[in-house]
Each structure stands twice: as structure tokens, then as C-alpha cells.
Structure 1
Amino acid sequence: MEEMRLAISGIVNKYLIAHASKIMKIAIAGFGALGARVGVMLQQAGHEVTGIDGWAAHIAAISTDGLTVHQDDGVTKKYYIPVMTAKEIDGKFDLIILLTKTPQLDTMLTDIKHIITKNTKLLVLSNGLGNIEVMEKHVNRDQILAGVTLWTSELINPGEIRVTGTGSIKLQAIGEANAKPIVSALNKASLNVTLSQNVIEAIWHKAGINSVLNPLTVLLDANIAEFGMAGNGMDLSLNILDEIKQIGELEGINVDVNAIMKDLALLIRPEHAGNHYPSMYQDIKAGKHTEIDFLNGYFAKLGSEHGVPMPFNALITRLIHAKEDIERTKLAKKQETFEI
């Protein structure tokens, strides 16, 4: 009798644990460095995760030999997560996390429309501004969750990433959807998610951080900690952020420059994100187009529309585009040499 009681108790406990935080079927659209890190964390928490990406070499590497993750404690592990193209993926998902680059968001949503049902929730964590407006063209507002994340990751090779430090996510339901089940599911994976009452301000806050760290690490050829050691790094940061605050006031957005500067002071520390090379730096080195037009370029464009000069953001945008051209030319010449 006692053995039966213990057996029943065990079954009940397993049931309660399984249902305390719902196991979800989750797709991650944009399975690059950050998408892969988030995917691993979600899979380790018991969620059913599928990656969606367009880089054939990356998909092949993960499918053949798994995802290699170098942790900042020196340990390297392998994870096996199914990854495929938008055309190949099928089925129904509780949640789709969008981590594709902002310029490709519209195309991604078009390509995965066959897996989006009226019950699917979509969480956009892509850097840059304008993502919500793009999503509203494809799904009902009640399906949209928008957020910002301070998690970081670095793509080393196809199928190989390096993760550093910790992070967090702030999100908000744009329509009337209940975001609490999503928060609970993500926090089961220790993603440190909190609900925000004004995600738009949070998005501008993150865009301010990215408008400092992304282009300046590129232009200074530095990781985040090395940028923090630059004598005039924080002065440059304030020049950029003061312009963003000015245009934010005209757009009805409160940009707290002091709060952004405090976050920058934390991020430059090695235990947070100091050893990380931001995504723009990684894109430049890979010869890709960057998201500069959705960061500093976006603010410069708003300034032009309002008739307000944005000299720092405008100059940085032009310098990054010039850097894109230079790096693509270098890579093309290397490729020609290799083929010869």
C-alpha cells in the first residue's frame, strides 16, 4: 500500500511540475548568434524548439554536427536543435520569436506565414526601430509582443557560437493578449523576463545603447570592454544620446540618457558583456549590410523630418556605410585570390 501511495504521489508531482509552467512549441526566426543562444536556453528548459534561418552553411553545420557553444567559463558543449529554412518549416507553434535583422523582418514574416495561425503569438526582439509597424502588416495586434533584450552572443563559424555574461528581456503585449504565460515560459529558461508598461520607451532605450555600442565598436575596432577604455568613449556616447533625447521629445518618447549611461557602464564590464563584439561588428567582418539605418540612421532621418540637425548620428551612419563598402571589397578580393 505504501509503495502504491508513493507511486501515485510521484505521478502527481510530475504532473504538477509539467503544468506549473507550460511546455511550449517555439520557433526562432533568425537563428544566428543570439537566436541560437536563446534556443539552447529554451530547449534546456524543456521547450520544443525549432530554428529558422537562411544561411545554408549554418543550417548544414548544426544539422550535421550540432550547435557548438563556447561558454565564458571555458566549457564547450554541443546542442542538437532542428534548424531549417522558412520554406521548409511546417507545423503549428505557440510562440515565434523574431530575431531576424530588422531590414529582413518583412520578408521573414512573408516566408513563414504558413506556420502562423490565429493562436500563434509573435515576440519581436530584433534591434532597431519600426518592427511593430512591420508586424502589424502581417498579423493581428493581439498576437504581437514586442521586447528588448540585453542577452548577447557571438557567431564564430557556421554552427558555432560564443556566449558571454548574462542578460534580460523586457516585453509587452501590443494588443489585448495575455503576456503572462509567455513570460512564465521564457523565465522557465532563466531568460530573466519582465513585463514592461511602456515597451516603446524600452525599445528606444535599447536603440540608444545599440546606437552607441554597435557603430563605435566597429569604428574603433574594439569589443565592448575595449570601447569602455577609450578616453573619449563616454563623451562620444553622450553626443549621440543627447541628439536621440532631443528627437525623442519631439516624438513624445522619454529618453533617459542617465539610465542609458548607467547600462553602458554595466555592459562594458567583462562579467556582463565586456568581452562581446556587437552584432554590427560581426556583420561588418562578414561583409554583410548592417542595421545602421534602423539605429543612428533612423534617428538622423527623424531629425531631418523635424528640421532638427543630428550631426553625430548622421556622420556615424555615413561612416558605417563606408565601412561596409570597404569590408565587402576586401572580402571580394580575398575570394578572388582564393579562387585563383
Structure 2
Amino acid sequence: MKIAIAGFGALGSRLGVKLQKAGHEVTGIDGWPAHIAAINTNGLTVVHDDLPPKKYFVPVVTPKEVTGEFELIILLTKTPQLDRMLTDIAPIITKKTQLLVLSNGLGNIEVIEKHVARDQILAGVTLWTSSLVKPGEIHTTGTGSIKLQAIGHADAVSVAAALNQAGLNVEITQDVLTAIWHKAGINSVLNPLSVLLNANIAEFGTAGNGMDLALQILDEIQKVGATQGVKVNITDIMNDLTDLLKPENAGNHYPSMYQDIQNGKRTEIDFLNGFFAKIGRQEHIDTPFNALVTALVHAKEDIERVKLAKKQETFEI
């Protein structure tokens, strides 16, 4: 299958390598010039667990440079940049192109519907992880899975088969919205708290009150979900959190929000905890924990961006 991955960062790179190794023709699409140059010049370096580094050569281009036709486009662009990405890659999207969104956060489907018919959309969630260490190099750990559903009449079976060829452990579900809220619950715990506690997932697990904080966040999400007709199962989310703490799963991983903060980027907090706080206000549901976490992460964004700017000024001098 001819596949493009829009958002060829940490996770996009990991999935791209696995798909290419399975025999699919893969093209990466990204907006970070240094990352693109590093991969196209020296290849993508992948360090998995404690194994020696390996090099892979996957072509990567900018959104405005990509050409051709693709059977599948996997969208891993963060929600705040998704509309812009779809606008830029519009020339490669035909009526036969299927789009699978695996980005974290809520509201992605509504954005994609502005660009293509519902029958071209598949929505999914993934527990695969990856860390972008520097341009052209990712570190991966453990394994993962994907749940997906056709929003209209997209061919979920063929897409799942192609991804499973690459060992991506794909399951077709008929209730992806519940799965998306489930994943958003996990991310609304691990992403912001890893930032605020300066910890990877396993280190978060060593905090004596870490799971108490998680329960406070999830209790609010469950109440908000009930107003939207979505059943949020706190027990299932807590079980998944416990599994993710293990080093053999994702314990050694720093979530994407932590990586964004370190790189001076704006995070997707408004599409996780901020989203739940917003819906809570609209539905008159108190969400003090999610609102506070959102405000603190925004403050952290500002602080780290100023620090990074000062470092760059020092380096230039």
C-alpha cells in the first residue's frame, strides 16, 4: 500500500519504519526542516530499548512539497495544526484516499470533515510510543496497539490488514469515540503530570500521590463524559495506566507533551484537560483539577519558551 504519514515526528517515524519494513511504500510529511534534512541525508536512527542503533531510509518532505497519490494518509499532526496540515496537503488527497487520524486529543474528526467526505475518514487511538531525541533520531520502547473505526464507509478492513502486516496490533471497533475518550483520559493524566513533575511515566508512578491525582482528573472527565453520552470507565483507564508504568511497556517513555515543552513548542493541553474543563463550564460541571492542570501547563510553556530563547541568544553571541 502507498502510505503517507502526515506528522513524521517521534511516533510517525516509528510507525513509518514498521510499515516500510513490512513492504509498504511510505513517505513522511513534516514541517521541521532540521528533522527532514537529517533523515534525508543520513537516514533515521532508531534506538529500541537497549539494542544497538539502526538506520532506516524513509523519504520525508514538507507538506507543500509532497506530490503523488496515496491510498492511505495517517494523520499524526497535533490537533492545533491539523487544519493547516490538511490544507497544505490537499493536492495529494483524492476521492479514493483514506485518512486515518491517530492524533491525541478530541475534535480531530470535526476538523477532517471540513476537508474530505466522511466515507474517507477512519478514526483511531494508539498506545504505541516513541521519543524524538534529536533531528533524525528516535528512541522507542515496548510495544503498542491501535483501535480504529470507519466514520462513514471507509475500508477499515483493508487498512487494518495493511497495518497488521507491520505488526501494529490493530483492532477494529464499533465504538471508537469511547476509545478516544479513554485514550484522552490516559493522556490527560500522563502528559501534563509528566510535564509538571518533570518525570517519565515510570517516575510518575513512584509519586506517592500520583494515582490520587489521576483519580481526581479522571473523576471530572467521567462526569463531563456523561453529559456527552460517553461512558468513561475509570477502572479500565487506571488499569491501563498501571500497565504503562512498567518499563517493558512505556515506563521509560517521556510523553509527547513533555517533549513539546522541552523543544519550546505549544502543547495540545487545550484539546485534553482544557477540552474537558471547557465542556464542564458549558455543562455546569465543576472541573477544578483539569482547569488547574491546563493553566499550569500553559504557564510552563511560557517559562520554557523564554528559557529556550535566552539559550539561543547566548549561543548566537
**Partner residue, 2:291:** 314
- How many residue pairs match? The answer is 317
Cα distance in 2 between the residues matched to 1:180 and 1:188: 12
SS of alignment partner, residue 92 of structure 1: coil
**Partner residue, 1:72:** 49
Aligned residue identity for 2:131: E
Cα distance in 2 between the residues matched to 1:302 and 1:293: 11
Say whether residues 1:114 and 2:77 are aligned partners: no
Taking the TM superposition and a 5 Å limit, the aligned residue runs for 1:25-36 are 25-36=2-13
Pick the aligned partner of 1:105 from 72, 78, 82: 82
Shift of 1:74: 2.1
With the length of structure 2 as denominator, give the TM-score of the two structures.
Answer: 0.99
Pick the aligned partner of 1:168 from 136, 145, 150: 145
- Which structure has the greater CA radius of gyration? 1
Shift of 1:51: 0.1
Aligned residue identity for 2:29: I
Say whether residues 1:152 and 2:129 are aligned partners: yes
Aligned residue identity for 1:333: K
Taking the TM superposition and a 5 Å limit, the aligned residue runs for 1:267-286 are 267-286=244-263
Shift of 1:178: 2.5
Cα distance in 1 between the residues matched to 2:50 and 2:181: 32
Aligned residue identity for 2:98: K
Aligned residue identity for 1:228: G
Q: Percent identity?
A: 73
Displaced runs of 4 or more, over 6 A? none
Aligned residue identity for 1:266: D
Pick the aligned partner of 2:109 from 106, 122, 132: 132
**Partner residue, 1:91:** 68
Deviations 1:89-144 (A, max 9, x none): 10000000000111000000000010000000000000000000000000000000
Cα distance in 2 between the residues matched to 1:115 and 1:334: 39
**Partner residue, 1:59:** 36
Q: Which runs of 5+ in 1 are unaligned?
A: 1-23
Taking the TM superposition and a 5 Å limit, the aligned residue runs for 1:150-299 are 150-299=127-276
Q: Which runs of 5+ in 2 are unaligned?
A: none
RMSD over aligned CA atoms reads: 0.5
Shift of 1:309: 1.2
